[in-house]
Amino acid sequence: MGYSRYDFTPLLHSIDQWLYSVMSPAWALIVELTLIGLAFLIFYALVGLFLVYAERKVCGFIQNRVGPNRVGKYGIFQTIADFIKLLMKELIGTKDADKLLYNIAPYIVIICSFMAIGAIPFAQGLLAIDFDIGILYIISVSSLSVIGVLLAGWSSNSKYPLIGAMRSGAQIISYELSVGLSLLTIIVLAGTMQFSKIVMAQENGWFIFKGHIPAIIAFILYVIASTAETNRGPFDLAEAESELTAGYHTEYSGIKFAFFYLAEYMNMFIVASIAATVFLGGWMPLHIPAWNGFNVVMDYIPPVIWYFMKTAFVIYIIMLFKWTFPRLRIDHLLTLEWKYLLPINLVNILFMALIVLLGWHF
pLDDT, residue 96, reads 79
pLDDT(246) > 80: no
Instruction: With a cut of 60, say whether residue 2 has pLDDT above it.
Output: no
pLDDT tens digits, residue range 34-80? 988 898 889 988 998 899 999 999 989 888 888 888 888 888 888 88
For 298-307, what is the mean pLDDT?
A: 88
Confidence at residue 143, expressed as pLDDT on a 0 to 100 scale? 83
Per-residue pLDDT at 342 exceeds 90: yes
Selection from 207, 209, 163 nearest residue 188 by Cα: 207
Cα–Cα distance, 83 to 120 (Å, whole number): 26
**Would you state the torsion angle of the CA atoms of residues 14, 19, 20, 25, taken in this order, to the nearest 10 degrees?**
-140
Q: Identity (one letter) of the amino acid at 249?
A: H
Contact of 175 with 228, CB cutoff 8 Å: yes
pLDDT at 271 over 60: yes
Residue ranges per structural domain of the chain? 95-358
Distance CA 68, CA 56 (A): 7
Predicted pLDDT at 3: 54
pLDDT for 104 beyond 80:
yes
Of the chain, the percentage scoring pLDDT greater than 70 comes to 95
Q: Residue 242's pLDDT is what? A: 64
Question: Who has greater pLDDT, 159 or 362?
Answer: 159
Q: What distance in Å separates the CA atoms of residue 157 and residue 102, rounded to the nearest whole number?
A: 9
118 or 220, higher pLDDT: 220
**What is the predicted pLDDT for the residue at 362?**
59
Structure confidence by residue, pLDDT tens digits, 213-225: 999 999 999 999 9
Whether 1 shows a pLDDT value over 60: the answer reads no
Nearest residue to 186 (alpha-carbon basis) of 304, 318, 275: 275
Q: What is the pLDDT at residue 224?
A: 93
- For residues 7 and 121, give the distance between their C-alpha atoms in angstroms, rounded to a whole number: 12
Phi, psi of 126 (to 5 degrees): -105, 80
Residue 292 — very low, low, confident or very high, per pLDDT cuts 50/70/90? confident
Q: For residues 283-303, b (16+ Cβ closer than 10 Å) or e, as one string?
A: bbbbbeeeeeeebeebbebeb
* For the chain, counts of helices (H) and of strands (E): 16, 0
Please give the mean pLDDT across all residues of the chain: 86
